[in-house]
Amino acid sequence: MKALLENTRLLLVFITSLYIYLYMEFSVRINNTITMLAESSSNRAIGVYVAINIAKFAAFLFSLISLIFLIKLIVEKKKN
Protein backbone atom coordinates (compact mmCIF):
# COMPACT_ATOMS: atom_id res chain seq x y z
CA MET A 1 0.00 0.00 0.00
CA LYS A 2 2.86 2.36 0.82
CA ALA A 3 4.49 1.78 -2.58
CA LEU A 4 1.23 2.51 -4.38
CA LEU A 5 0.82 5.76 -2.46
CA GLU A 6 4.42 6.73 -3.23
CA ASN A 7 3.97 6.01 -6.93
CA THR A 8 0.71 7.96 -7.01
CA ARG A 9 2.28 10.98 -5.33
CA LEU A 10 5.23 10.87 -7.69
CA LEU A 11 2.90 10.61 -10.68
CA LEU A 12 0.89 13.56 -9.39
CA VAL A 13 4.06 15.65 -8.96
CA PHE A 14 5.17 14.71 -12.48
CA ILE A 15 1.85 15.62 -14.08
CA THR A 16 1.52 18.88 -12.14
CA SER A 17 5.02 20.13 -12.87
CA LEU A 18 4.76 19.13 -16.53
CA TYR A 19 1.45 20.97 -16.80
CA ILE A 20 2.95 24.10 -15.22
CA TYR A 21 5.92 23.96 -17.61
CA LEU A 22 3.74 23.46 -20.68
CA TYR A 23 1.40 26.23 -19.59
CA MET A 24 4.29 28.63 -19.14
CA GLU A 25 5.85 27.59 -22.43
CA PHE A 26 2.78 27.88 -24.65
CA SER A 27 0.67 30.51 -22.87
CA VAL A 28 0.04 33.54 -25.06
CA ARG A 29 -0.25 35.78 -22.01
CA ILE A 30 3.10 34.72 -20.55
CA ASN A 31 4.83 34.89 -23.93
CA ASN A 32 3.47 38.40 -24.49
CA THR A 33 4.69 39.40 -21.04
CA ILE A 34 8.14 37.98 -21.76
CA THR A 35 8.26 39.86 -25.06
CA MET A 36 7.20 43.09 -23.37
CA LEU A 37 9.82 42.61 -20.63
CA ALA A 38 12.55 41.85 -23.17
CA GLU A 39 11.84 45.10 -25.00
CA SER A 40 11.78 47.14 -21.79
CA SER A 41 14.93 48.80 -20.50
CA SER A 42 13.95 48.69 -16.83
CA ASN A 43 16.06 46.82 -14.29
CA ARG A 44 12.95 45.32 -12.69
CA ALA A 45 11.80 44.06 -16.07
CA ILE A 46 15.04 42.15 -16.49
CA GLY A 47 14.60 40.62 -13.03
CA VAL A 48 11.05 39.50 -13.78
CA TYR A 49 12.17 38.15 -17.16
CA VAL A 50 14.90 36.10 -15.51
CA ALA A 51 12.54 34.90 -12.74
CA ILE A 52 9.96 33.68 -15.28
CA ASN A 53 12.61 31.80 -17.25
CA ILE A 54 14.08 30.26 -14.09
CA ALA A 55 10.60 29.16 -12.96
CA LYS A 56 9.97 27.61 -16.37
CA PHE A 57 13.31 25.78 -16.25
CA ALA A 58 12.71 24.61 -12.67
CA ALA A 59 9.27 23.22 -13.56
CA PHE A 60 10.76 21.33 -16.50
CA LEU A 61 13.64 20.01 -14.42
CA PHE A 62 11.33 18.97 -11.58
CA SER A 63 9.10 17.16 -14.06
CA LEU A 64 12.04 15.36 -15.63
CA ILE A 65 13.49 14.27 -12.29
CA SER A 66 10.14 12.98 -11.02
CA LEU A 67 9.66 11.03 -14.27
CA ILE A 68 13.08 9.43 -13.86
CA PHE A 69 12.29 8.42 -10.27
CA LEU A 70 8.91 7.07 -11.34
CA ILE A 71 10.47 4.93 -14.06
CA LYS A 72 13.13 3.76 -11.61
CA LEU A 73 10.46 2.68 -9.10
CA ILE A 74 8.49 0.83 -11.77
CA VAL A 75 11.58 -0.99 -13.05
CA GLU A 76 12.63 -1.98 -9.53
CA LYS A 77 9.11 -3.22 -8.82
CA LYS A 78 9.16 -5.36 -11.99
CA LYS A 79 12.50 -6.92 -10.97
CA ASN A 80 11.10 -8.05 -7.62
Residue at 6 is within a domain: yes
Q: How many domains does the chain have?
A: 1
Residue at 39 is within a domain: yes
Statement: residue 6 has pLDDT above 80? no
Task: Identify the H or E element spanning 34.
Answer: helix 28-39
Tell me the pTM. Answer: 0.82
Work out the mean pLDDT of the chain and round it to a whole number.
90
| Rounded Cα gap, residues 16 and 20, in angstroms | 6
Residue at 51 is within a domain: yes
Residue at 79 is within a domain: no
In 3D space, the residue among 36, 41, 65, 68 whose CA is nearest the CA of residue 52 turns out to be: 36
- Residue range of the domain that includes 39: 2-73
Indicate the pLDDT class of residue 19, thresholds 50, 70 and 90: very high
**pLDDT score at 41:** 82
Residue at 80 is within a domain: no
Residue at 78 is within a domain: no
